[in-house]
A and B are shown apart, each in its own frame.
Chain A
Amino acid sequence: MKLKLHIWRQKHAQDKGKMVTYEVDGIIEDMSFLEMLDVLNEKLIVNGEEPVAFDHDCREGICGACSLTINGIPHGFEKETTICQLHMRHFKDGDTIYIEPWRARAFPVIKDLVVDRAAFDRIMQAGGFVSAHTGGVPDANATPISKIDADKAMDYAACIGCGACVAACKNASAMLFVAAKVSQYAYLPQGQPERKKRVLNMVAQMDAEGFGGCTNQYECEAVCPKGISVAAIALMNRDFLKASLTDAS
């Protein structure tokens, strides 16, 4: 099939950038979306043009590197699917596709479709951990955890840190990302000792990074490739309020 692509091109962080139109031909159904871009890039290289830069690595939906907004929807329109797992059988000949980077002040564009998501790492540094140093921990079965709680924790731990939640939110809010981590630990006994400190520090860092606030539209949940529920955000709101009111440190 033949497609018309409108792609954001930006040489470097300071460049103004613009949408550029390309046409690709010979796209087949079994290709993934990124393989379709590979076809375009191969063509560009042969023509001596710079290929379109985009983040990607595992191409099996787990590393969280790929980060394209397709026709205004991060990762495209397939439910719970990263863009690397979206296949071209969902498109048809002659389609026009807009491809843009994640848009957020806290995710500045580095080049073309590549953005800097270091803000997420800094939020994790602020409290996205259990302070268990290597060694000296009890036997793994010493503390039973109900299967229901363990499963809940796993639901939230499934976050791949791609940032689609931020990209989809009209406020570029990182609430779902932060809440997923807060909720994972909130459901586990290991997370309890630092529960208050964690939520206060992570939220403070989130605010400092310049993400927007949550207006409960749940676009984040709708585009999350791992289907993380906004119930996490409610839990974080609750924990944060409680911690703000009672934290003595």
Chain B
Amino acid sequence: MSALVRFFQSTILSKVVMAGTGLVLVLFLLGHMIGNLQMHIGQEKMNVYAETLQHLGGVLWIIRSGLLLFLVLHIIASIRLKALNLSARPEAYAFKNTVKATLASRTMIWTGVMIALFLTYHLLHFTIKATNPQFGGLVDAVGRHDVYSMVVLGYQNVLISIVYIAAMVLLGYHLIHAIESMFQTLGINHPKYNSFIHRLSVTLSLVIVIGFISIPVGVLFGWIALPAGVVAL
């Protein structure tokens, strides 16, 4: 415990926590996105995938608690750093200006907060189904939970789709700075590879955002349609 406290007391180690947990979360996002892309293949594929995940049982809960722990650490470290950083400059400049800090880098805490809010909604929406309890009753022809239809039904609400798309854009914004920053924090900076790192973080952010967005967009444009027999809500 004291080791953990000491870790958080150091600004650099707090940043390492940010970077390390961030790395895991990015990998999760990438996996989650790739899994979700199966929406484009069809109901059968998607529901099999979802059922496979559900049948992991205890392992699923280990993964879920692990992710939650990393997320919480990520948030704690960010809040602690933000508080420290704010207190490091009690008097602001009368004339505010920057030379090269990107908008993304200057708004990390705000994009972070929005993403956290969105995540809460997302879990209530599709995972816990608190917002739409009727999602729980969806089953497909072979009796599996019909995740495919649930997602299509969810995104058929234009407002909800817009919220999802907007959140993903914010996420992309967060990631563009986060991924590159992660390399620097973990000590990876070399003139030979810096431009590659930059391109990698932009590409990765775009892939994740476009991958996720493709699903509500697909639903809205009708590429991803409800299977016969499921009634639109």
Contact = CB atoms under 8 A, between A and B. Distances in A.
A and B touch in the complex (CB under 8 A): yes
Contacts of B87: 105, 210, 212
Contacts of B139: none
B26 interface: no
Contacts of B188: 234, 238
Q: Which of B90, B92, B189 has the most CB of A within 10 A?
A: B189
Q: Which of A19, A207, A223 has the most CB of B within 10 A?
A: A207
B191 A231 contact: yes
A230 interface: yes
A170 B98 CA distance: 9
A85 interface: no
A212 B185 contact: no
Interface stretch (A43-51, A69-77, A122-130, A141-149): A69-77
B89 A230 contact: no
Interface string B169-205: 0000000010011011111111100000000000000
Given A6-B94, A216-B177, A210 B102 contact: no
A237 B85 contact: no
B131 interface: no
Interface stretch (A25-33, A96-104, A131-139): A96-104
Given A72-B95, A203-B12, A216 B89 contact: no
A148 B177 CA distance: 31
Contacts of B95: 6, 69, 71-72, 98, 100
A246 interface: no
Nearest to B98: A219
Contact of A214 (B15, B94, B177, B187): B15
A241 B101 contact: no
Given A104-B89, A170-B85, A215-B85, A235 B97 contact: no
Interface residues of B, number: 42
A187 interface: no
Interface string A192-228: 0000000000011011001111111111011100000
A51 B92 CA distance: 24
Given A72-B95, A207-B9, A212-B88, A230 B189 contact: yes
Interface string B76-111: 000001001101111111111111111001101000
A217 B106 contact: yes
> What bracket does the count of chain A residues touching chain B fall in?
35 or more
A213 B84 contact: yes
A214 B11 contact: yes
B14 A213 contact: yes
Contacts of B106: 170, 217
A25 B92 CA distance: 29
A60 B96 CA distance: 27
Contact of A170 (B101, B181, B183, B187): B101
A65 interface: no
Nearest to B191: A231
Contacts of A72: 93, 95-98
A166 B59 CA distance: 47
Contacts of A73: 97, 99
26 contacts: A72-B93, A72-B96, A72-B98, A100-B93, A103-B89, A103-B92, A105-B90, A171-B89, A172-B88, A203-B11, A207-B11, A212-B89, A216-B180, A216-B184, A217-B98, A219-B98, A219-B100, A219-B101, A230-B184, A231-B190, A234-B183, A234-B184, A234-B188, A237-B15, A238-B188, A244-B13
Given A222-B99, A241-B12, 9 more contacts: A8-B94, A69-B93, A100-B95, A103-B93, A203-B11, A211-B11, A214-B12, A219-B101, A237-B12
Interface of B: 9-16, 81, 84-85, 87-102, 105-106, 108, 177, 180-181, 183-191
